[in-house]
Structure 1
């Protein structure tokens, strides 16, 4: 059976099969959502906010909860789109503000320009370059230093005994 999901702030309704995940909805709408871990709930790059209908989604798993804990922009209504399965109608999803970067090469192409919007670290959600700020080579070096976060190391430290 097909369920309807509303995407904000673009004000579009889209359909997904019952038990389909929200990541497939976002990809089908050609939204620029990263999926670095291949949908295994480990990288946090598909972090979204559920504005309405949290009860219409599958429950948060332990793995998803551990991943959400590393996101600085995490809120009580945060989910990983790859892990949140749609069980009923009434889900309204909002992508976190800012642009998620995939690699340092994405930033290199922007050197000498001002950031149109905040550039966010894809794992932690930390603002790397504020909107309106000039992206320089020294900014690039700073970004390289702050993006050394290793997901595998984090999860090896947080696994339950």
Structure 2
């Protein structure tokens, strides 16, 4: 099973974390299954950017983003060349390291 290393995030994962997930699982699903409450305002339907992550290691193993994801990523806060929507980034057999950006553009967050 691939391992996801999550770099420390002040709100969701202050100490950082390492979780295992099944191949074929999205990064977002894996984080939620391990009680890391990453934002996902559109319920994993690729309709927002709240689950934006930056893949620091293992980016190539996730497959290429489709046009819908790329269009949405253009609106994400803190966009980098290895940014992905975690709901669309599907794990293969390779381990990945991610960073959750400090901010998102979720206007509906309470």
Q: How many residues are aligned here?
A: 104
Aligned equivalent of 2:40, options 26, 35, 42 = 35
Larger radius of gyration: 1
**Consecutive unaligned residues in structure 2, runs of 5 or more:** 9-14
Q: CA deviation at 1:88?
A: 2.2
| Aligned pairs (5 A) from 1:1-161 | 2-9=1-8, 10-98=15-103, 103=108, 106=110
Q: What is the SS of the residue equivalent to 1:17?
A: coil
Q: 1: CA distance between counterparts of 2:107 and 2:34?
A: 19
**Consecutive unaligned residues in structure 1, runs of 5 or more:** 107-161
Please give the TM-score of this superposition, normalised by the length of structure 2.
0.82
| Post-superposition CA distance 1:63-109 (Å, at most 9, x none) | 100100112421101100000001122200111014776636x3xxx
CA RMSD of aligned residues (A): 2.0
Is the 1:34–1:102 contact (alpha carbons within 8 Å) kept by the matching residues of 2?
Answer: no
